[in-house]
Chains A and B, each alone.
Chain A
Amino acid sequence: MTFELQGRGAFGGRAEGEALVCPESIQGWAGISDVTGRIIEHGHSQWGRSIDGKILVLPCSKGSNGWSCHFNSAMVSGFKPAGWVFTKVDSRAGVAIAVLKVPAVSDLNGDPCQLIRTGDYVRMDGDSGRIEVIRKGE
């Protein structure tokens, strides 16, 4: 099954990869490991998984102002998402987008946290705001 979503381009460029969907978002501080890029937030549904190379699908940011800096540190350590998809960008998320400089799309015609599943293959265009979602086996 393949479907498309249309949103607002928040950072230009094209990216593709496996979706990692976190409807509860992720804490930056005490949520993303600076040295491994893995999710270390206690009780998180995707605990232990790496954000590296993924299309990270989040509703918004979460927690402390120190959000972007932990994604920044993880990037310096060699781990960063291939692209971001946000339900709606907030200020912390906006900074993280500017810091990581990977394609980002927001404000889609449907909630990506509801419609995209972890493991789906996502192709995204941060200039046009278009997303293609490919779900295997359906």
Chain B
Amino acid sequence: MVKLTEYEAEMLSGAHGPLRQKAMENIVAYAVALGADELCEVSKATLFMGAHEYLDVLKTDNYEKIFSKMYMCSDETIPLVSFDSGCFSQTCAAPCDQYRYKELHLSREFFEKNKRYLEATKEAGVSIAGSCTPYFTGWIPIKGEHFVTTESSNVLMCNSVFGARGNSDGLEAAVWSAVCGRTPKWGCHTDEGRLGNTVVQIECPSETAVDWDLIGYTVGRLLPPHGRPVLEGKFKRPDIIRLKQCFAAMATTSGAEICHIVGVTPEANTLEQALGGGQPEHRLTVDREACRQSYDMLCCPDTGKIDYVTLGCPHYNLQEVREAAMYLRGKRVHKGVELIIWTDFSTREMASQNGYTDWIEQAGGMLMTSGCPLVIGKRCYGHAEGIAADGAKQAHYLRSETSAPVYYSDMRRCIEAAVSGEWREEMRYDI
């Protein structure tokens, strides 16, 4: 039995309108499914809004119907009145750039539809941000703050690094929470649900963003179900870019929601603190060989033609856009190759102010916002004969969705591939 406050019971009874009532019904069913006793207040949300491909199954472009059925799970159409005013909500990655569509092989009709869908939720209170790295746009839940997000790497970042509290619930539940301002108090929302239970000894290279991408991918591969890893060992201190890569990859190969790093993250000043004084259920080691195996799972072993290069999974921040722009400056992307760098549009604006967008475009590359090949779908990359990516998450899912060879390496080597139009042996990441 889920214990509700007076206000929550009012919402459930319909006193605050049918939208909040349906959201509460769903949240209570979710709490029962988890075995949660009560709910907690959510004050930050990122939501997967826009004309995403999976919504096409409903075979309508009436957004109120789509919203009711696909997000609220209601057969009745419920007016999309407003989201909860106490929860700041913004959009996650979108299936189109905020400004351009032709270059992404998308139709004007689709671009307009996506805009219309985003406008509908904006009117109800969800700001358009188009970011899978919302912490780079100012969306940052702080220690103890309850959040929901539809981006799995963001769950790991907010729990582990910011000390905020959230679970990897899913696209529908994030919307229910943003509507009624509540989520089940369970898992990472509770003290005990955050304690590490799996000690991971890091004995592999840990210098670069790709090293940390591979650490995340490997930890995820080896992690048992319901594992909450605690990383320890003689690794080089990671920065937020390295952790962004690590968490995106870890959330690709596992369901991890929190990852403590001894001496780095706030609930892991010591290994004992991260484990809550208890003994770990599992112990793992990530060494160079395990990371090599991960690399081989992500990068096609052949050499060959490259005509599509995607950088920025998760979205680049200004520092990464700058580094890519500086490396591209004076170079020229090979004829017939699409080089796309992905970020959010606040970062793109700063990049433009600093001249980085010009450097990228003068080299023949593009700086796009909001989406990525995976989120947009095959229509934007399905024509490619050889793809290079600098994110393990992107490479992993692209490999499962296309028959074209997919190669994976660091930013610079991927840019070299874009410039030469081919993937050569020396472009493989040397781990």
Residues of A participating in the B interface, judged by any CB pair closer than 8 Å: 8, 10-11, 25, 29-30, 34-35, 41-42, 59-70, 72-74, 76-77, 87-99, 101, 104, 106-107
Interface residue? B1 (CB, 8 A): no
Residues of B within 8 Å of A68, CB to CB, are 170-173
- Beyond contacts A68-B170, A69-B48, A69-B70: 14 other A-B pairs, Cβ-Cβ < 8 A, are A8-B35, A10-B35, A30-B400, A34-B53, A65-B151, A65-B169, A65-B251, A66-B48, A72-B172, A76-B70, A90-B187, A92-B170, A94-B169, A106-B33
Task: Report B63 CB to chain A, min CB distance, Å.
Answer: 15
Q: Which of B33, B225, B397 is in CB contact (< 8 Å) with A60?
A: B225
Residues of B within 8 Å of A67, CB to CB, are 170
Residues of A within 8 Å of B150, CB to CB, are 65-66
Residues of B within 8 Å of A65, CB to CB, are 149-152, 155, 168-171, 251
Task: Report A100 CB to chain B, min CB distance, Å.
Answer: 9
Task: Report B152 CB to chain A, min CB distance, Å.
Answer: 4
Q: Which of A90, A98, A106 is in CB contact (< 8 Å) with B226?
A: A90
Cβ-defined contact, B30 with A94, below 8 A: yes
Most B CB within 10 A of own CB, among A11, A35, A66: A66
Cβ-defined contact, B170 with A10, below 8 A: no
Q: Which of A64, A95, A98, A107 is in CB contact (< 8 Å) with B252?
A: A64
Residues of A within 8 Å of B32, CB to CB, are 10-11
Whole-angstrom CA separation of A62 from B251 in the bound complex = 9
Interface residue? B167 (CB, 8 A): yes
Q: List 5 A-B contacts (CB under 8 A).
A: A10-B33, A66-B170, A73-B54, A89-B35, A94-B184
**Interface of B, helix, strand, loop or mixed by DSSP:** helix
In the complex, which residue of chain A has the Cβ closest to the Cβ of B187?
A91
In the complex, which residue of chain B has the Cβ closest to the Cβ of A93?
B33
In the complex, which residue of chain A has the Cβ closest to the Cβ of B152?
A65
Residues of B within 8 Å of A106, CB to CB, are 33, 35
Report if A69-B170 is in contact (Cβ < 8 Å); known contacts: A35-B57, A95-B30.
yes
In the complex, which residue of chain B has the Cβ closest to the Cβ of A77?
B57
Cβ-defined contact, A97 with B69, below 8 A: no
Whole-angstrom CA separation of A97 from B29 in the bound complex = 8
Q: Which of B149, B184, B255 is in CB contact (< 8 Å) with A63?
A: B255
Task: Report A93 CB to chain B, min CB distance, Å.
Answer: 8
Interface residue? B61 (CB, 8 A): no
Residues of A within 8 Å of B408, CB to CB, are none
Interface residue? B401 (CB, 8 A): yes
Interface residue? B186 (CB, 8 A): yes
Whole-angstrom CA separation of A97 from B226 in the bound complex = 18
Task: Report A15 CB to chain B, min CB distance, Å.
Answer: 15
In the complex, which residue of chain B has the Cβ closest to the Cβ of A30?
B400
Q: Which of A63, A89, A91 is in CB contact (< 8 Å) with B257?
A: A91
Whole-angstrom CA separation of A90 from B73 in the bound complex = 20
